[in-house]
Structure 1
Amino acid sequence: MRQKKHFIAERALLIRRSKIRELFERASKIEGVISLGIGEPDFDTPRNIKEAAKRALDEGWTHYTPNAGIQELREAIVEYYSNFYNVDIEVDNVIITAGAYEGTYLAFETLLERGDEVIIPDPAFVSYAEDAKLAEANIVRLPLREENEFMPDPDEIVELITKRTRMIVINYPNNPTGAVLEKDVAKAIADIAKDYNIYILSDEPYEHFLYDDAKHYPMIKFAPENTILANSFSKTFAMTGWRLGFVVAPSEIIKAMIKLHAYVIGNVASFVQVAGVEALRSQESWKAVENMRKEYNERRKIVVKRLQKMPGISVREPKGAFYVFPNIKEIGMSSERFSEWLLENARVVVIPGTAFGERGEGYVRISYATSKEKLVEAMDRIEEALNKL
């Protein structure tokens, strides 16, 4: 039978498939592979959160909810920012979303017109550039440099701003570099946004995974009227499959987001939202978060210590998230070729830095969100392969 040629809308054709997913699927077909690729907690969701979802189902939470989310969860998020950061927000500043993914998508679609400019770091998480394409916005890349601890330079931001600049994307603790944003830099970016009347999309899902003396400063603390803060339960509470997140923004922006959200998904699953209330308000949940943070810290030390001794690799110690971003330039391969070479010769998956932007060339991303035993084995394999070069 002759296959029909189907018409596909240009906006769908513009989207580039994630290199992370491509490598993951390729590796799944090779026996004995250790994946240090996808950034997903290997921990199970804390029991009390799962039990809350089960109770919610038994209690009849199987129906539609308000588009913006249930009142109790929105109130719990208000309480959370007050308790953790001494930041006052209102319920009208919150919308419940299907993860931070939907939150960032809503921000791009709500705030950007065709031809507007959005400043996106390079390297940066893969979805931002694709969201910008869908919004028909022009992408302006802001270099993140290793010698600057992968933090943005406020002076460079100012140089990139034009009369078409509408938004800048910030993501700290950072994916893929593991960097954290120092307070003075965060305040400087906030001041720039206020001075030039642009928005900050601040994507903050790794805020609780900090190490050594690192601290997190939510951008709404410094520029509440200019910030769209996207956050997620996925990483904090090991709830990736639940698809639960939220956005905090000025109420006028939230109202616009609610209208779009209503036509995209309607509402996040009702019983999942009830579980989110339990996650935020229960001490049991937060004890689990701290246990995860301690375990990630131990894994981080194992990976960094091993990488620092390997030929051709240099690495800065990350202070946040659960990623290491080693420099592989001395090895003499491109990031993509090195990732393929490791898969072929060590059966270990790492992500080429170029998956996150052109300035990711010369680096790879390693996720340590997997067991110590697998990390040690992966480091052994990488070292053995490198020693044969």
Structure 2
Amino acid sequence: MSLRASSSATTATNKFSFQQSLNPKSTFVNGNPTPQSHVKQLSFFPIKAQQFELKDGLAAVFEPKMSLGDALKVKEWEVGMYQDEFAASQGIRIRRRPPTEQPLHYNGPFEFHLQNDDNTPRNILEEIVWYKDTEVSQMKERKPLSVLEKMLNDAPPVRDFVGALKEANSRTGLPGLIAEVKKASPSRGVLREDFDPVQIAKAYEKGGAACLSVLTDEKYFQGSFENLEAIRNSGVQCPLLCKEFIIDAWQIYYARAKGADAILLIAAVLHDLDIKYMIKICKLLGLVALVEVHDEREMDRVLEIEGIELVGINNRDLGTFKVDIGNTKRLLEGERGQRLRQKGIIVVGESGLFTPPDIAYVQEAGVKAVLVGESIVKQKDPTIGITQLFGKDMSS
């Protein structure tokens, strides 16, 4: 069953409401939340009406005073009911969390045994996501939605991330640079021992970076939200991308509260319903989402989603961590590249970019921006590292 707004419903006219952003278009049957159309479309987006009608004529009234926590639980219930089905249908191999029930194997009358132990992550990304699921649950307990609401009210103004990339591309004739503030990675270990995030950010800005990407994952990348907040409060003017493994809408609110202007959404982890829902949240908060893809199937999925402004092509294989910048060219050839241009989507090249020929290669393929970390953060002077990367001074 689907829901549509009643013509007699009232419309909110005041400024953005944190409560509104979490209200689901859901009805309740016997006290339980029921997803509309079996969640064929998103049930969460800002609601301007509180009363809805079911197509079969039955009326359902959403309780306007539902707590933020309960509203978010409804969304999680709806999507969680179909999580595995959504992921499988879209070719997503990264499991959101460890299986809670193991498959049984029949060995004879009344004898069933566990077929295999499938509680081991299949690759590093799955391991990170599993850990992130636990970490976010703990963070939500320490900083519930009521606390985030106040933090959002005190958050600094949003900066124009997309506009900064376009301006840099127009000014230099080269892809706009998103310079990454990153201390370590699972594949490379510690990249810089004398890691001062604020000083590195200032060096990037001096060197001509259009935007900055700040790693906030602690366990695997030795980053933090404190680094993001410190850079935002340091006087650096570049718009900031919160580089986090986002699996829960709560993280988007938290990133904005800490000063983020953009967030990362990974198509290999998030199914289409999640991406659509999270993009709506981003637009409410004034953020932009960089939606990252790795292969043709992920690109095809993303091309069907409305509202995307930035698509990142990651040249790193998720399973092996090997890098091939030819991946960018493959994904931008033919109809895919044409559709991206028609939609006005800015393509960001990611991973494996170390030299001016690398930059020229992905630019010729169609990228208008690049996200680079390792090749410049390891330089003694990251400002000079940017000049070496592009083969020219990017600051003028």
> What's the TM-score, normalizing by structure 1?
0.29
The structure with the largest alpha-carbon Rg is 2
Q: Which of the two has greater strand per residue?
A: 2
If asked which structure has higher relative contact order (CA below 8 Å, sep 6+), I would say 1
> What's the TM-score, normalizing by structure 2?
0.29
